[in-house]
């Protein structure tokens, strides 16, 4: 997961001029998708599945801020396979925004606690 960032204190990370979202206390896939939908202001057509998550993470036309930061105050308590899929979607979405060759509309930054790095690396 080469595009994810790890900080010692992600809860206190507050970049300037950014749309910042904190995710914490997630216990299952449905709860994760619901929190992401609410905090990232997903459109009503969001389908609450992994494919739909990929689609909206690579769009963000409804957010005016250029810099979008998704901070995980703790690691979502998902089933191992769901966590692996979620992390891969995040990593790929960050890469997708970096790969834009034309007019880059957004920059997506995804942050986790440094304490989670070993587990996340093992899942990749």
CA distance 29 to 34: 9
Residue 101: predicted pLDDT? 57
Q: Which tens digits make up the pLDDT trace of 2-18? A: 999 999 999 999 999 99
What domains, with CATH codes, occur in the chain? 5-123 (3.30.370.10)
CA distance 120 to 124: 7
Query: In a 3-state reduction of DSSP, which class is residue 24?
Result: coil
In this predicted structure, the answer to whether residue 26 has a pLDDT above a threshold of 70 is yes
12 token code pair = 């206190």
Average of per-residue pLDDT values in the chain? 94
């Amino acid at each position: 997961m080469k595009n994810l960032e790890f900080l010692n204190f992600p809860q206190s990370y507050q970049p300037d001029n950014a749309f910042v979202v904190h995710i914490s206390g997630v216990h299952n896939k449905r709860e994760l998708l619901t929190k992401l939908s609410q905090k990232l202001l997903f459109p009503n057509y969001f389908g609450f599945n992994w494919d739909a998550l990929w689609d909206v993470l690579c769009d963000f036309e409804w957010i005016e801020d250029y810099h979008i930061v998704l901070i995980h105050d703790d690691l979502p308590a998902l089933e191992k396979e769901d966590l692996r899929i979620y992390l891969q979607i995040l990593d790929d979405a960050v890469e997708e925004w970096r790969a834009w060759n034309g007019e880059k509309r957004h920059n997506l930054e995804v942050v986790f606690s440094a304490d989670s790095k070993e587990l996340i690396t093992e899942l990749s």
